[in-house]
Amino acid sequence: MQTLSHKTVAIAVLSILTACGNNKPAADYASEPQPFQVVTLQPAAATLNTDYPATVRGQQNIEIRPKVDGYVAQILVDEGATVKKGQLLFKINAPQYEQEVLTAQAAIKSAEAAVNTARMQVRKVTPLVKKEIVSNYELEAAELAVQAREAELAQARASLQNARVNLGYTTIYSPADGVIGSLPYKIGSLVASNSEQPLTILSDISNVHVYFSFTEKQFLDLAGNDASASLETQLKKLPPVQLILANGNAYPEKGQVEATGGQINTGTGAISMRATFPNKAGLIRSGSSAVVRISQPVADAIVVPAKATYEMQGKKFVFTVDAAGTAHVREIQVGEQSSGNDYIVSSGLRSGDKIVTEGIGSLKDGTKIKPVAAPTTTAAR
């Protein structure tokens, strides 16, 4: 076997020693402070958004019901159609009312003939009384007979008018502008004034009423502390509200809180509120679900990103960083609602404090870190 030269062995040993000197143990890397994004808190203007689940109702919802019994002969609109006041919606087949009109017309002709006969009798008796051929009693009786026949004629005419009104109920017109709801009855269905379901429900949605609830405290906080002000004055103090639709989009028109319930629900401690939104385009439909959002400006707020917080046993915490780069757990109190993706801090932090904004799940109290300035998009705003 060929023996390696002393020079070759020395080079090999030197290479091994050099390689070992340039590679630190993994434990050394683990003990080094790791970089974490940190932001320095500064007071800033913020907007506090408070969301309330809500239901939407049309300005008025009108049940369209037949006033007479009969069969549905025609349906002249479709579900979801927009109709105008006075537009024909339904026709009811009720031949009995047509027959009542014919009967009333015949009764009028009979009553008119009776009146004419009674008047003829008066004309016949009048000269006989003057000639004292018959007593005045005969003339008075004839005149009373005329009055009785005229009353019968008036009653017959009233019956005709009533029959025509009933016949008119067989054609149903829209009482207002609005949108047609569901149509539970089809052509040929028997309907009556006491039917369980209406023919349809007409919704006037040119404006919509949105109903939601406040707690008593929320209402007093928003309305202010002026106990002498009337409820109407307090409602006017409430800021315009925004409507968040079911798809998460914000409705472009702002609404105004206009009415409140007469009393507070003793079971829930909530007071019912109503906001009105214009809906000229008809985008919002009665029965929709939505969220009412009330925005309040807050001056000089301390705002922290929601991702910089964590919760434990119902309390919120952040990691602050001291001058030595050590992370410390600190409890904070925040407002009831968030400001977008941030929280407005009511206590626990102050201007100039530094907090960790990323990766807090891997931190523990007392961990040494390498603070890195967070991008401005994650800073409190």
Mean pLDDT of 295-303: 85
pLDDT value for 369: 93
Q: Is residue 28 over pLDDT 80?
A: no
108 pLDDT higher than 90: yes
**How many C-beta neighbours within 10 Å does residue 245 have?**
15
What's the whole-number average pLDDT of the chain? 84
95-130 vs 136-168: helix crossing angle, rounded to 10: 160
Domain 31-47+298-378 has CATH 3.40.50.300: no
pLDDT number for residue 150: 94
300 has a pLDDT exceeding 80: yes
Tell me, what DSSP letter sits at residue 324?
A: T
Nearest to 246 by CA among 295, 281, 291, 293: 291
CATH 2.40.30.170 fits 51-59+205-297, yes or no: yes
Q: Which pLDDT band, with edges at 50, 70 and 90, does 229 fall under? A: low
pLDDT at residue number 260: 72
pLDDT at 26 exceeding the cut of 60: no
Q: What is the pLDDT of residues 135-163, one digit of tens each?
A: 888 888 889 999 999 999 999 999 999 99
Out of 25-29, 111-115, 353-357, which region has the weakest mean confidence (pLDDT)? Answer: 25-29
> What CATH number was assigned to the domain covering residues 64-191?
1.10.287.470
pTM: 0.58
Asked whether residue 228 carries a pLDDT value surpassing 80, the answer given is no
Beta strands in the chain (DSSP E): 34-40, 44-64, 70-75, 82-83, 88-93, 171-173, 178-180, 190-191, 200-215, 241-244, 256-260, 270-278, 289-305, 310-312, 315-321, 327-334, 342-347, 354-356, 369-373
Check whether 2 has a pLDDT greater than 90.
no
Range 353-368 average pLDDT: 92
Whether the predicted pLDDT of 337 surpasses 60: no
Would you place residue 230 in the very low, low, confident or very high pLDDT band (cuts 50, 70, 90)? low
Question: Where does the pLDDT of residue 222 fall: very low under 50, low under 70, confident under 90, or very high at 90 and above?
Answer: low
**Residues in Cβ contact with 242 at an 8 Å cutoff, skipping those fewer than 6 apart:** 250, 251, 254, 255, 292, 293, 294, 295
For the chain, which residues make up each domain, given as ranges? Answer: 31-47+298-378, 51-59+205-297, 64-191
pLDDT band at 29 (very low <50, low <70, confident <90, very high): very low
pLDDT of res. 193 = 87
- For the stretch 244-290, pLDDT in tens is 998 888 999 999 888 776 667 777 778 888 899 998 888 888 888 89
pLDDT higher at 230 or 101: 101
Element (H, E) at 381: none
In our burial notation (b when 16+ CB lie closer than 10 A, e otherwise), range 37-68 reads bbbebeeeebebebebebebbbbbbbebebeb
224 pLDDT above the threshold of 70: no
